[in-house]
Structure 1
Amino acid sequence: MKKEWFTISVYAENNVGLLNRISGIFLKRHINIESLNVSKSEIEHVSKFTIVVNTSKDWTQKIVQQIEKQIEVIKAYYHDDDEIIYQESALFKVASNLLFDERQIQNIIKDSNSQIVTVSRDFFVLAKSGRRHEIDEMHEALLPYGIMQFVRSGRIAVSKAEMPISKLLKNFYQD
């Protein structure tokens, strides 16, 4: 079983308990959700769940089929990384003295194309958006200097190809 990264896009009505039922589908198969994001979609009154998993294509197909059986789910898709454009975001909280005392910190900020969000007497916060490996690289570079806090968002993604759901629902709501 060859494991790969897949991004699952789920278009659904945003009802209480749906996230719990979707996560239960992964739990039953002992598949870890690596990243999860839920937001409004391009379609009014429809939410988009973006779920990242590292598993086989066969398991991903089975999961998508199970997700689509949920009443509130309109449609679910899966994509490999070549079929989508995606990003993640992260915040790094680091001791303020390092910003001025460690020249290498300034190089890390510049080389990683990150932004300083805020600076206070005790700490500063860096924001980094990019692909997972870019955030991981920045994390590794900052680790020797001490990271006070770190948080990463779930993946956000759009498909390179047109999503049939958009056309389908636009026609549905116009009728």
Structure 2
Amino acid sequence: MKALGPNKSPPNAIRTSERERVDDAAAIRLCRGGDGDAYRHLVERYQREAMGHALAILGNRQDAEDAVQDAFVDAYRALARFDEERRFYPWFYAILRNRCLKLMGSRRRHDSDALDDVGMLTREGAASVEEVVALEEALKKMLSESREVLMLRHLDGLSYKELAERLGIPIGTVMSRLFRARTELRAVLTTRPKKP
């Protein structure tokens, strides 16, 4: 075996600074080739977004953290079946969403812990403290499907087409769900007690 020298690395190795620039497809190819460390790129890139989406679905930080962690493990195990023609995050999101729905079904805690961290997801300066609190309270009372579609559309800024792709439903269904979700949110916000 030939020595590489003090400053040389194997031809297939990726230095830490280079790893940050590796795109998703390259990271997936490296993972499939046996470089388990390359998966860290995908986790680091999408963990915050995944946490926001899981929190929108579950409404509970601890459950969301569990779902995100489990979804990343599930996705890693399923990388051999990943179609490289697709983008990683929509594929991963389907895994995450299924994990969240399973968790909701097993725990049956729709109304337990509050959506504590919705404030973390709102754009800075977009609303007053009172408006953010009112929104958090309203979101807690909504169905998870309604909460999810609103968060994806209005916080993440996804288009109808992107929502359809992410949720795996037709655009017409996206529009119907958004209409129902906005109606539900409006009803919850208008029925809340007014402060004196």
One fold, TM greater than 0.5? no
Q: Which has the higher strand share?
A: 1
* TM-score, reference length from structure 1: 0.27
TM-score where L is the length of structure 2: 0.25
Which has more helix, going by share of residues? 2
